[in-house]
Amino acid sequence: MKQLSRCAVVICICVSLWPALVAAQQEYPNKPIRVIVPFAPGGSTTILARIFGQKLTESWGQQVIVDSRGGGNTVIGTEAVAKAPPDGYTLLFKGNSQVINSLLFSNIPYDPIKDFAPVATFCVQQFVLVLSPSVPANTLQELIALAKAKPGQLNYASPGSGGIQHLAGELLSMSAGIKMQHIPYKGSGPLIPDLMAGQVQMSFQSPSVAVPNVKAGRLKGVAVTGEQRMSALPQVPTFSQAGLPEITANTWFGIFAPAGTPREVINKLSVEIEKILAMTGTRDMLAGQGVEALPGTPEQFAALMRADKVKWDKVIKSANIKIEN
């Protein structure tokens, strides 16, 4: 009888608390949401985060503040989210570097997997492998044949060591069985003139850089890293169509919350983000930045991160890539 009485008391307490728990869930969000971008203000990631923030503000009627905190190879802003209260009011907007940096740097003060809860993927950007006009190749297979005929003599440029465009070049070398030299630059700005002039032979570039230069004949596009051809460059095949299906080197962006954020909050955010990405206006805004909407559940996002970690860890180790902290 005493056990039954205790059970009855527990049931009564749970029943009495249930309305408050439901109300608390329904109240989210009841104050501004801060979205931290771990890059300096004004970059492409900040622009994408502002699109997300604007659409979420319009949907929920609650202000979404985009806070750019660059520095430390994205560590400063990312760590701020890892240490934030897990209540859904501090989020992280970040791309592949969440996974890649953990493979390149040994002293990151957080675990990129365990200290964060993936909320939803947001968008994805593919790259175009572009060649200098001086390179005597017009297709991927011709480029591979040239590289095999001149082992170690061709080089490829990237906007910086350890980035996705650097790793894409190493993935190409591994997949095609060729040897090329990596030339790191400080951004695409100084890289493109050298590429046009033939001082470097090739580079993986974003659509915003590649498309206008390929259309103008200043560069040659030989393959794109996505699963489908780009509508802006319909004549350029995918790597799969060109004979190297293992090469995918896209940059994805997504939203993270601190680990321990209530599942109800994560689900509410995830569902709303999926609705936002289904809007024509959102897709048009993303297309204007050279990216495509990439809706995905928390589970799909987590699986994407795991797959990326395995893939790029293999490339980094095979190419013996080391970055100074």
pLDDT 10s digits, 46-79: 999 999 999 999 999 999 999 999 888 899 999 9
Q: What confidence score (pLDDT) does residue 325 get?
A: 59
- Please indicate, yes or no, if residue 268 is contained in any of the structural domains: yes
pTM for this predicted structure: 0.83
CB of 171 closer than 8 Å to CB of 247: yes
User: What is the average pLDDT across 242-255?
Assistant: 94
Buried-state track 105-139, b at ≥16 Cβ within 10 A, e below 16: beebebebeebbbbbbbbbbbbbbbbbbeebebeb
Place of tokens 């202000």: 63
User: What's the rounded Cα separation, in Å, for the pair 147 and 47?
Assistant: 37
Question: Three-state DSSP class for 112?
Answer: coil
CB of 49 closer than 8 Å to CB of 66: yes
Judgement on whether residues 136 and 209 belong to the same structural domain of the protein: yes
Judgement on whether residues 70 and 155 belong to the same structural domain of the protein: no
- Please indicate, yes or no, if residue 1 is contained in any of the structural domains: no
User: What is the average pLDDT across 298-315?
Assistant: 95
Judgement on whether residues 203 and 265 belong to the same structural domain of the protein: no
Q: What confidence score (pLDDT) does residue 26 get?
A: 58
Is pLDDT of 4 > 70?
A: no
Judgement on whether residues 69 and 99 belong to the same structural domain of the protein: yes
Is pLDDT of 287 > 70?
A: yes
CATH classification of the domain holding 266 = 3.40.190.150
User: What's the rounded Cα separation, in Å, for the pair 169 and 143?
Assistant: 13
> In terms of residue numbers, what domain contains 259?
32-125+251-318
- Please indicate, yes or no, if residue 171 is contained in any of the structural domains: yes
Number of compact structural domains in the chain: 2
pLDDT 10s digits, 166-197: 999 999 999 999 999 999 998 888 999 999 99
* Residue 26, number of CB atoms within 10 A of its CB: 10
Place of tokens 């109800």: 264
Q: What would the two tokens of residue 149 be?
A: 């005929």
- Please indicate, yes or no, if residue 17 is contained in any of the structural domains: no
pLDDT 10s digits, 77-103: 999 999 999 999 999 999 999 999 989
Judgement on whether residues 135 and 91 belong to the same structural domain of the protein: no
Q: What confidence score (pLDDT) does residue 80 get?
A: 97
Any alpha helices (H) in the chain, and if so which ranges?
A: 2-27, 44-60, 75-82, 97-104, 140-149, 164-176, 188-197, 207-215, 263-277, 280-287, 298-318
Given 207, 224, 241, which residue is the final one in a domain? 224
Judgement on whether residues 39 and 175 belong to the same structural domain of the protein: no
Element (H, E) at 117: strand 116-125
Is pLDDT of 319 > 50?
A: yes
- Please indicate, yes or no, if residue 218 is contained in any of the structural domains: yes
pLDDT 10s digits, 193-220: 999 999 999 999 999 899 999 999 999 9
Q: What confidence score (pLDDT) does residue 52 get?
A: 97
Measured between alpha carbons, how far apart are the two ends of the chain, in Å?
A: 65
Is pLDDT of 5 > 90?
A: no
Is pLDDT of 1 > 50?
A: no
Is pLDDT of 15 > 70?
A: no
Judgement on whether residues 56 and 198 belong to the same structural domain of the protein: no
pLDDT 10s digits, 98-139: 999 989 988 899 999 999 999 999 999 999 999 999 999 999
Judgement on whether residues 117 and 134 belong to the same structural domain of the protein: no
Q: What would the two tokens of residue 194 be?
A: 């050298």
Does the N-terminal peptide bond of residue 29 adopt cis geometry, omega within 30 degrees of 0? yes
Q: What confidence score (pLDDT) does residue 260 get?
A: 98
CATH classification of the domain holding 151 = 3.40.190.10
pLDDT tier at 318, thresholds 50, 70, 90: very high
List the 155-158 sheet strands across, edge first: 181-184, 155-158, 202-205, 128-131, 220-224
pLDDT 10s digits, 144-171: 999 999 999 999 999 888 999 999 999 9
